[in-house]
Structure 1
Amino acid sequence: MELTFSTTSITLPTDVDWYDATLYQQIQQHGFRHVDWDRLSDEWLLYIYLHDEPTLGSKRKESTLKEYFRDIRDFLLFVRDLAPSVRSLHHEEVSAYQGHLEARGYKPTTLRRKTTVIHSFLRFLHRRGIIEEDLTASMKRIAVKKESLVNRDFYEEEVQALLDYFKEHDYFMYTLLYTLVSTGLRIQELASAKWSGIYYQPDVDLHFITVFGKRDKLREVPLFEEVFQVIREFRNRRGLSLDLSKDTESALFPKPNGAHYHFKYLSNEFSKNMYQLKDTFSFIAKRIQLEEATRQEGKPIKYRITPHTCRHYTAAYYLSKGADLKAIQDLLDHDSSQTTDQYLRRTRKFSEHAAVKIGGQFMK
């Protein structure tokens, strides 16, 4: 698809693929200084923003592009009722949109994420000189209490009970849960990992799996021997090759045909199967009850077991085995030690509690 350029304007097609950077590259080659921004619709400002990577050498994933597109498109639809274009917005109307989001009942974490995307979009327009005023200056910050919203506690006896159950009844979930709790992999990383990414490191007598994390950052994640054997058995049951050198395409955690699962499918299956065990395990039923109770009280907290819960378990497990904060940070691919410390906050709060220090018994 080719663009038609004149000295000051661009004729844009109407059937653009929002997630294809081809048109953006053509505009870039033509030169942004030659673009008459006033002739571009708000939708095309959105398209250019999506593909204007903030970091040289990086590329936003399609899942990120879709999320940004959805959030900014909703913002632009709201804008149309207030102003002819985003170029003529007043900062009070940006605040009105934040109020609109809040009124829709989004939880604080979602509200903060959506606000961050709009903030980034408006800053981009200001830096490009498309809008004169920095409309983000009056945007309100979103308060998210660290002590609430999500309870990621996952205890060893719960993990062991679930592993025992799934090993007997559901090898798919057994392999999925065992891999997640032992590696700390994000569900996106597990879904995209390849079987051929496994290699043996004789110096430490461990298998490792090469994965690409956030920002396509490469890292090596250990696979304990028993976990490696469980994955091998899972593949064997699906009739797939166990030869690491020959099978270069199939997924680490494969579909029956060896292809990769979509991470959202794995996440939904994991959470659904956990929920269905509410009549089997009292700790799952209790989590659901607590979640419902806090929702009715107007202060909802998530207690359910999700793939992300497993990452918190991994952090706590490694801490209990003597690993330091930096080693756990590297394992989980956290940019900041503060994130890792937040994962371990509740573990430390209880282990360092004054009652624990005196032996947990008031009067002997």
Structure 2
Amino acid sequence: MNYSRIPLDHEPLYIHDRNIIFSNKNKILAEMLDSSYLAMVYTKMEEKEDEFLPGLSSLTDLEIIYFFVHQETHDDEEKNRKKQTKKEYFRDLLQFYTFIHVQLQQDEVSSSLFPYIRKKHIRSYQEWLKNGAFQHRKQGYAIATRARKITVVKSFLQFLYEEEVVEFPLQVAFKKSTVRRKDKPKRELTYEEVKSLLDYYKDHPINYALLLLLATTGLRVQELAKASWRDLYYDPSIEGGTYFLKVIGKNNVERHAVILQSTLESIQRFRKRRGLSTEIDVKSNSPLFTTNKGKAYGYKYLSQYVTRIIQDTGFLWVRNKGPITPHFFRHFFVNYSVLTLGLPIEQVQKTVGHQSKTTTEGYVAETINKGMNAGLYWKKQIF
């Protein structure tokens, strides 16, 4: 196997040739996520630029992908891609690259694949995303997932065109992929459904605490997984004294979620079961919630765990709705706050950390439209 070595002034990293994608995806992803080698990639590019040659001509395909994802496009570091975003970009781009590799195998392309990509390959890729056979699904991806993947690949292809790596603007070969409101998955939970889940696990300190915190705060599962015990604090100046949980959300935006007394008590029961301190301590760096091995939850594992314990209840309505993820509780929080408590959309938007009011409105639009149905005003015994 050939290796393309990035010259380093410390322990070297090897970004492997494209065959490694097939044999060890986790290894290549781990290497790709290490941003400490970006300076060395710039050095390779600048050596070519000093020779009045395109900088990217010094890089292998995988190094080009590496550079595209890690490059700092904003002077303000807060506006550059975060680690989780980079991880998703790498997954989508490596999947695309693997597809192109298979498409071009018959041409026995041994060097860079990018100059050999044609619009027909882009059309085939979009069709594959929609109707292809995959390990964990019967046929293709949902339209929202396809739209996200295509957005990532289009931005990469545009980058290749602007940098003259490819001769044609391949990104224009994609058909439009608009996610309409009706295409978005329904994530509605009623108060009665949430209560039935909580009642089912009322004697289970682990599951009850997780579900109650999700339901009463509207936090994202990523925010919950990353929260530390020191992030929980008491503010005596708010409503005569209120507990808050500080979280860092998307785009590193800090928010403070209200922790109800019942929710606080459930968190303390969780921590007691895990053998952790239950005394508020702003100096403690331990996770808010830990696994039975005392480690912080990975957010994907936590999401899968919550989904599984809900399925384990065996409720008929759970089976009818399909997999219920933690994000359902975020929708519940928004709907309950707006439709039951009558709070303004803008207030709820800020509470849950939506950048756009339109996003928050989308959570409640269908229920609001049902409530405005003219048929509700007809007398029930008109005929």
TM-score for the superposition, normalised by structure 1: 0.84
1:64 aligns with 2:64: no
State which of 264, 268, 272 in structure 2 corresponds to 1:232: 268
% identical aligned pairs: 30
CA distance in 2, matches of 1:60, 1:125: 19
Deviation of residue 64 (structure 1)?
Answer: 3.1
Distance 1:14 1:30, change over 3 A: closer
What do residues 97-135 of structure 1 show as CA deviations (whole Å, max 9, x unaligned)? 212222212221221121111112112223334334332
- How much has 1:246 moved relative to structure 2? 5.9
1:296 matched to which residue of 2?
none
Contact 1:325–1:337 (CA under 8 A) maintained in structure 2: yes
Structure 2 equivalent of residue 191 of structure 1: 225
Is 1:37–2:71 an aligned residue pair?
A: no
Q: Quick check: 1:241–1:247 contact (8 Å CA) kept in 2?
A: no
From 10, 18, 22, the equivalent of 2:36 is 22
State the shift of 1:273 in Å.
Answer: 1.3
Report the more deviating stretch, 90-99 or 44-53.
90-99
Alignment-derived partner of residue 334 in structure 2:
315
Alpha carbons of structure 1 residues 133 and 225: separation in structure 2 relative to 1, 3 Å: same
CA contact (8 A) 1:181 1:313 kept: yes
- 2:23 is matched with none
* Mapping for residues 129-278 of structure 1, pairs under 5 Å: 129-168=164-203, 170-204=204-238, 205-245=241-281, 248-256=284-292, 258-278=294-314
Partner Cα separation in structure 1 for residue 379 and residue 149 of structure 2: 44
In 2, the alpha carbon distance for the partners of 1:359 and 1:54 equals 58
Q: Which has the higher contact order (CA 8 A, sep 6+)?
A: 1
Post-superposition shift, 1:192? 0.3
CA distance in 2, matches of 1:13, 1:231: 44
Report the CA distance between 1:315 and its aligned residue.
0.2
Aligned to 1:103: 131
Q: Aligned partners of 1:14 and 1:257: how far apart in 2?
A: 34
* Maintained 8 Å contact 2:45/2:55: no
AA of the residue aligned to 1:190: L
Aligned to 1:77: 98
Q: Distance in 2 between matches of 1:57 and 1:360?
A: 60
SS in 2 for 1:65: helix
Q: Is the 8 A contact 1:250 1:258 kept in 2?
A: no
**Matching residue's letter, 2:41:** I
CA contact (8 A) 1:76 1:86 kept: no
> Which ranges of 4 or more aligned residues in structure 1 deviate by more than 6 Å?
none
Shift of 1:50: 1.9
Q: Distance in 2 between matches of 1:360 and 1:225?
A: 44
Q: Answer yes or no: is the 8 Å Cα contact 2:45–2:59 preserved in 1.
A: no
Aligned-pair distance for 1:232? 1.5
Gaps of 5+ in 1: 6-10, 288-302
Residue pair 2:144, 2:183 contacting (<8 A) in 1 also: no
Stretches of structure 2 that go unaligned for 5 or more consecutive residues are: 17-27, 133-139
Deviates more, 1:251-260 or 1:232-241: 251-260
CA pair 312-14 structure 1, distance change in 2 beyond 3 A = closer
- Report the alpha carbon displacement of residue 74 of structure 1 after superposing the two structures with TM: 2.3
Take 1:127 and 1:208, find their aligned partners in 2: how far apart are those partners?
47
Structure 1 residue 191: Cα displacement? 0.3
In 2 relative to 1, CA 308–12 (structure 1 residues): closer, same or farther, beyond 3 Å? closer
1:197, CA displacement in angstroms?
Answer: 0.5
Contact between 1:270 and 1:306, CA under 8 Å: does it hold in 2? yes
**Matched AA of 2:85:** T
Q: What CA distance in whole angstroms lies between the structure 1 residues aligned with 2:159 and 2:258?
A: 40
Question: Which residue of the partner structure matches residue 19 of structure 2?
Answer: none
Partners of 1:189 and 1:329 in 2: how far apart?
Answer: 16
What residue in structure 1 maps to residue 369 of structure 2? 349
Q: CA deviation at 1:183?
A: 0.5
State the distance in 1 between where 2:42 and 2:379 align. 66
Q: Deviations over 1:29-80 (max 9, x none)?
A: 5664446423422111111112114443035444433332222122223323
Q: How many residues align?
A: 340
- RMSD of aligned alpha carbons: 2.7
Cα distance in 1 for residues equivalent to 2:13 and 2:197: 55
Q: What is aligned with 1:298?
A: none
